[in-house]
Amino acid sequence: MFRKVMVANRGEIAVRILRALKEVGIPTLTIYSEADRNSLHVRMAEEAYCIGPPPAEESYLQIKKIISLAKDKGVDGIHPGYGFLAENPVFAQACQEAGINFIGPPAYAIEAMGSKTRSREMMQDAGVPVVPGTTKPVRDEAEIFRLASDLGYPIVLKAVAGGGGKGMRVIKRAAEIKSAFRATQSEAQSAFGDSAIYVEKYLENPRHIEVQILGDKFGNLIHLGERECTIQRRHQKVIEESPSVLVDEEMRRQMGETAIRAARAVGYFSAGTVEFLVDKHKNFYFLEMNTRLQVEHPVTEMVTGIDLVKEMLKVAAGHNLTYRQEDIKFRGAAIECRVYAEDPLNNFFPCPGKILSLRTPGGPGVRDDTGVYPGFEIPIYYDPLISKVITWGRDREEAIHRMARALQEYVINGVKTIIPFLQGVMEDKHFLQGDITTEYIDQKLHRGSLVDAGYFKEVAVLAAALDAYRTEISRGTNSFPKINGLKMVDNPWKMTGRRMLLDSRL
């Protein structure tokens, strides 16, 4: 299929793509920045080349260096993952010009969907419903003020070049327009190199539901059902599921067909995702199309049994899709939790650092998509997403209970992660009932539950002192005290204590 494929990414998604390449027997090559010498993807690839200094602009975004390395090393396909160059039409084009297969959609589809305003226009033309708002960038605060008067508050400012929840601000009152406009522009400029902003009506408490599509170069397009991505934090997804509790078979068919129509309008092939906002009347509106593999693709893989990365490889190599729409059968329910290196007890502040020890969850129905390992030092330069846990169950309830169990097994020691927060969500009755909105994390989740762990606190106190004691002892003797050794004791109450302990052991 391919002689050699480069994975032009890092972290968990690079690992996930390397796994697919290994399974189909294609030799692998990856790149890394100077901050990533010890990263897992470097270890897993057959070939790995340092591409520049830590900042992404000087390494993972260096189109010329990457293409030149690829040509030099006999690479004939490049998978961009998500982020970095994944939705950069210039890169897709540069690959094509260098005679290298870009394992993703055509450059023109990326470009068309990359402009939020242009894509809104095209979707309207194709008969795909969009959220009310502008299809042109706004020029100044006054224009926003006028638009807000028409649409009614709240409205949302979004970067034209944005996506993935970055570069957006909700405005609830006219007084907020000025600072929000400035902040969004500056974030848009720094994140996407383009400060253009547009305005949409802000749907309150909407569901965020997206449809996975898959197409080949012969115009065959299918959908693989929906993913519920409503639970967000700072407009970024945290927990995703498939299917959505909201979507029945008929709505799935309608959304699927709409998503295919959207994709067809831009001549799409490869894997892609059409995101919809769904209001309380179950009306759905086109929000954006992600012209790449999504972070949350595994939930779709688990309910359909389809390996999306392998399909992307096949399609890029010019093969037909393996599946027709009628071959797609959904089984059970899957849920994904993103594990960020952030402190849930401190406003989700990022916490890079060294992983002292790591226990990943296993057993039935659990998928571990990690990008880290024990001893790894999480670099400060990139996204704090370090791994994902995905569980499958015969129904949503089993998937959730399994996730709760998996999160209990999952220990990352040395850096703070949002695992305790995710555990809280899995036990929350609103989540169990499927009663969620994009504001769920702020509004509904009882934060206190993160630390309200009853007797565990007493154990933490006791363990802290125990560890201090043993650390002191080991400093003195340079080895841990023997804890299984037998020692004569003469103090009678101590004997009693020991006997009690032995009794409790039977």
Partner 1 sequence: MAYEVKIDDQIYRVEVEEDAGAYQIKVGDRVYWVDVAQPQPYFYSLIINGHSYEVDISPQNDQRDILVEGKAFHTEVYDETRKPLLSKKKLEFLEGEQKIVSSMPGKVISILAQPGHQVKKGTGVIVIQAMKMENEIKAPKDGEIKEIRVTEGKTIEAGEVLLVIA
CB of 305 to a second copy, least distance (A): 6
Rg (CA), the chain: 25
# binding residues, a second copy (CB under 8 A): 50
CA distance 154 to 167: 17
Q: What is the 3-state secondary structure (H, E, C) of 116-140?
A: HHHHHHHHHHCCCCECCECCCCCCC
The binder of a second copy chosen from 258, 360, 423, 438 (CB under 8 A): 360
Residue 402 interacts, among partner 1, a second copy, none and using kind-specific CB cut-offs from 5 to 8 Å, with: a second copy
Angle formed by the axes of helices 308-316 and 297-304, to 10°?
Answer: 100
CB of 356 to partner 1, least distance (A): 5
Per CB under 8 A, contacts with a second copy among 475-494 are 484
Residue whose CB is less far from a second copy, 81 or 162: 81
CB of 459 to partner 1, least distance (A): 5
Using alpha carbons, list the distances in angstroms from residue 62 to 4, 79, 465: 20, 15, 50
The binder of a second copy chosen from 408, 443, 471, 474 (CB under 8 A): 408
* Binding pattern for the stretch 28-57 against a second copy, x by CB under 8 A and - elsewhere: ---------x------x----xxxx-----
Residue 458 interacts, among partner 1, a second copy, none and using kind-specific CB cut-offs from 5 to 8 Å, with: partner 1
* Region near a second copy per CB under 8 A, out of 150-158, 276-284, 370-378, 486-494: 370-378
- The answer to whether 359 contacts a second copy (rule: CB under 8 A) is yes
Instruction: Give, as one character, the DSSP assignment of residue 87.
Output: T
Per CB under 8 A, contacts with a second copy among 317-356 are 329, 331-332
Residue whose CB is less far from partner 1, 281 or 476: 476
Check if the beta carbon of residue 301 is closer than 8 Å to that of residue 307.
yes
- For residue 297, the surrounding DSSP H or E stretch is helix 297-304
- For residue 401, the surrounding DSSP H or E stretch is helix 396-409
If we measure between CA atoms, which residue out of 156, 153, 164, 224 comes closest to residue 191? 164
Using alpha carbons, list the distances in angstroms from residue 57 to 65, 107, 369: 12, 21, 26
CB of 172 to partner 1, least distance (A): 16
Residue 456 interacts, among partner 1, a second copy, none and using kind-specific CB cut-offs from 5 to 8 Å, with: partner 1
The three-point CA angle 96-289-220 to 5° equals 65
CB of 453 to partner 1, least distance (A): 4
Q: 81: exposed, middle or buried (C-beta count within 10 Å: 0-12, 13-18, 19+)?
A: buried
CB of 372 to a second copy, least distance (A): 11
Residue whose CB is less far from a second copy, 254 or 320: 320
If we measure between CA atoms, which residue out of 295, 259, 500, 462 comes closest to residue 389? 295
> Active-site positions?
292
Residue whose CB is less far from partner 1, 138 or 358: 358
Q: How many helices (H) and strands (E) does the chain have?
A: 17, 22
- For residue 285, the surrounding DSSP H or E stretch is strand 284-290
- The answer to whether 69 contacts a second copy (rule: CB under 8 A) is yes
Residue whose CB is less far from partner 1, 187 or 210: 187
Residue 381 interacts, among a second copy, partner 1, none and using kind-specific CB cut-offs from 5 to 8 Å, with: partner 1
Task: Tell me the residue ranges of DSSP E strands in 373-474.
Answer: 377-378, 385-393, 411-413
In this structure, the number of other CB atoms found within 10 A of the CB of residue 54 comes to: 15
CB of 68 to partner 1, least distance (A): 14
**Residues lying near a second copy in the complex (CB under 8 A):** 15-16, 19-20, 22-25, 37, 44, 49-52, 65, 69, 298, 301, 305-307, 329, 331-332, 359-360, 362-370, 373-374, 392, 394, 398, 401-402, 404-405, 408-409, 484, 504-506
